[in-house]
Amino acid sequence: MQHNKLLILVFALVALVQIYVPAKMVYDSEVVLDQGTAYKFRTAPIDPTDPFRGKYITLRFDIDEFEIDTSEVWERGEVVYVELTTDSLGYAKIAAISRTKPYEDVDFVQAKVRYASNRYSTLHIEYPFNRFYMEESKAYDAERAYWDAARDRETDCYALVHVKNGEPLVKDVLIDEVPIRELVIMNNAAAEAAELENSKN
Amino acid sequence: MNKKLSTDLSALIEAEIIDIRTAIKIQEFYKGQSGKSQNRLVILFGILGALLMGLGIILIIAHNWDEMSRLSKTVIAFAPLLLGQLIAGWAMIKKKTSVAWREGATTFLFFAVGASISLISQIYNIPGDLGAFLQTWAILCLPLVYLLRSSAGSLLYIIGISWYATEVGWSYKNHSEVYWYWLMLLAILPHYYMLYKKQPRSNFMTFHNWVVPISLLFTLSTVALEMGELMFVAYISLLGLFYIIGTNKFFAQQKRINNGYAAIGALGTTSLLLSLSFDWFWEEIAGHKNTWIEMASSPEGIAIILLTIAAGTLLYFFNRMKAIKNIKPISFVFLLFIPTFVLGTYFPVAGFVIVNLIILVLGLMTIQRGAEEDNLGIMNYGLIILTGLIACRFFDSDISFVVRGVLFMTLGLGFFATNYWMLNKRKTQAHAA
């Protein structure tokens, strides 16, 4: 009987740990959303031949390159810390990139080095928050809307990213201040209405 | 089926071959047997049912996802996890003796844990690292295997850690992470041992006897760092180790299909040898000039040393009571291969010739054993090995077509001749009897 009680106790412990892992993820994310600073990461046009990823859309940002001193050697996959600030239009801008974590009162995110171009003295980086999950039926249309908006420089297309203590969180993707989910719903509704019109005539 | 048995038994009673008491005993025996197979079905359906229910719930929720608030999505993400834990707890307390309950509950909870973590990641768009996710998932579910004594859980765990190992091992990541797999594999071995002791003839044991070697087959490659060619030697030793494990008397009384170790060891060794029988391989390795110290201290080198010692030790302990000629020939291949490899780095031609000779001898010995044991399957397997060897040389060398044609015809004739001779021998033996 003692043995039994011990097993049950251990199981309860294991169950708590199993709950703790996703719960901590929720807590940390909510903290970032609540207390973090919101940055608008302007999106870059994606090469249309990128493979469609299904349940999420892939994001690429304007600020994924930065001018550097060519005397330094950067390795592919190396972790770097990107200090953020805002430009005159309200979009996120890279203030500096370093190999060490900045001090506490500066907003930064972690990123990985994609490659360094000595010719143009630029460092190309990859942000970890490059996915925005969407419900399956909307994902494809959303990605198309996103591509079109990103390529068209007149449109205001950006990802709203909350940052706290170096932890980033993509809150939403907006095209001309309309959240992309709503935009897709609107587009689909408009398309359906147009079809109805056509079939009537 | 019972009707047929009853009619058969009545016929036997009438013919006075068995008496009524024996007939009753026979019926009781078969009833007990079908009880066992029914149990197995219940377990299987329990596991399948749990799987399908889990998937169904996921699909329904996915459809309505967008209309929900973040809070409701989070609640839903935890629901399967909590439900699974309740079911597992119930199984642990009230249904301890039911295999179906334990296995079904563990399977459901296993997937619920994975689902809850990945759902939360999707809700909050948390950047995902597949390797870390798999590792966390596996570690969170490992205790369940021991708490609920679940073999389905164990198999899922092994698959999980193998996926984790290949995910981190085959990408541009930090190489030292691959060693976690071996530690995690160690953690599941007690359960494997328990199966061996308590349920050696069960289906679960058989599944483990296949899943574990297959997992190792994939994950050994993740150890490779700079000296990839050395992995061939490591693999020959690994396959040799598998084969020798398969020759243990534990497997002797079981069906051949239960013996994953022997099957993978034999097939793997012959295929690997065949691919090493090409001269381009030996030209390749002759080019590399590392010192012996460098090779021995590399991860690949250490793998070779450990595997060879393990295989050699088992080879000795399993076979010390047997005469040399009674030991299966494949067991020795790994011992021969290491000096061959060493020689080959200096004289590629020697390596090439020796490997071909090894395959030739293996094929011939297998044919001979097939003839001795009167086993058509083994004999033809030997012939297939020879065919494979000749086919490889066919594509390899610049021998004229005529010679190749003659070789193949000879081989074909050999197939016919040996099979005909064997069947004839059986006929005359049957006549004599």
Condensed to tens digits (0 to 9), the pLDDT of residues B403-415 reads 777 777 877 887 7
In chain B, pLDDT over 70 holds for what percent of residues?
94
Is residue A128 within 8 A of residue A170, CB to CB? The reply is: no
Mutation to test the A interface, candidates B124, B142, B144, most A Cβ within 10 Å: B124
Range picked from A91-95, B132-136, B153-157 for highest mean pLDDT = B153-157
CB atoms within 10 A of CB B363: 21
Condensed to tens digits (0 to 9), the pLDDT of residues A102-148 reads 877 788 888 888 877 777 778 888 888 888 877 767 767 777 777 77
Query: pLDDT value at position A17?
Result: 95
Measure in Å the smallest separation between the Cα of B120 and chain A Cα atoms.
Answer: 7
What letter does residue B175 receive in the DSSP assignment?
G
Annotate chain A with three-state secondary structure: CHHHHHHHHHHHHHHHHHHHHHHHHHHHHHHHHHHCEEEEEEECCCCCCCCCCCCEEECCECCCEEECCCCCCCCCCCEEEEEEEECCCCCEEEEEEECCCCCCCCCEEEEEEEEEECCCCEEEEECCCCEEECCHHHHHHHHHHHHHHHHCCCCCEEEEEEEECCEEEEEEEEECCEEHHHHHHHHHHHHHHHHHHHHHC
Q: In this complex, how many residue pairs, one in chain A and one in chain B, have their CB atoms less than 8 Å apart?
A: 79
Q: Cα separation of B342 and B352, whole Å? A: 12
CB contact under 8 A, B85 and A15: yes
CB contact under 8 A, B120 and A77: no
Mutation to test the A interface, candidates B72, B83, B117, B125, most A Cβ within 10 Å: B125
Residue of A nearest to B71 (CA): A26
Least confident among B2-6, B72-76, B316-320: B2-6
Residues of B in contact with A179 (CB under 8 A): none
Higher pLDDT, B194 or A182: B194
Is residue B147 within 8 A of residue B110, CB to CB? The reply is: no
Instruction: Please list, residue by residue across B146-175, b when 16 or more beta carbons sit within 10 angstroms of its beta carbon and e when fewer do.
Output: bbbbbbbbbbbbbebbbbbbbbbbeeeeee
CB contact under 8 A, A21 and B117: yes
Is residue B266 within 8 A of residue B330, CB to CB? The reply is: yes
Is residue A130 within 8 A of residue A58, CB to CB? The reply is: yes
Q: For chain B, what is the mean pLDDT?
A: 85
Measure in Å the smallest separation between the Cα of B138 and chain A Cα atoms.
Answer: 11
Condensed to tens digits (0 to 9), the pLDDT of residues A6-27 reads 889 999 999 999 999 999 999 9
Among B125, B140, B143, the residue with its CB nearest the CB of A132 is: B125
Query: pLDDT value at position B70?
Result: 82
CB contact under 8 A, A129 and B125: yes
Torsion sign (Cα): B266, B269, B275, B277: negative
Query: pLDDT value at position A52?
Result: 42
Q: Cα separation of A17 and B113, whole Å? A: 11
pTM of the model: 0.79
CB contact under 8 A, A138 and B66: yes
pLDDT classification of A49: cutoffs 50, 70, 90: very low
Residue of A nearest to B83 (CA): A15
Residues of A in contact with B65 (CB under 8 A): 135
Q: Is the ipTM reported for this complex over the cut 0.85?
A: no
Overall size of chain B counted in residues: 433
Phi-psi region of A96 (alpha: psi -120 to 50; beta: other; left: phi over 0): beta
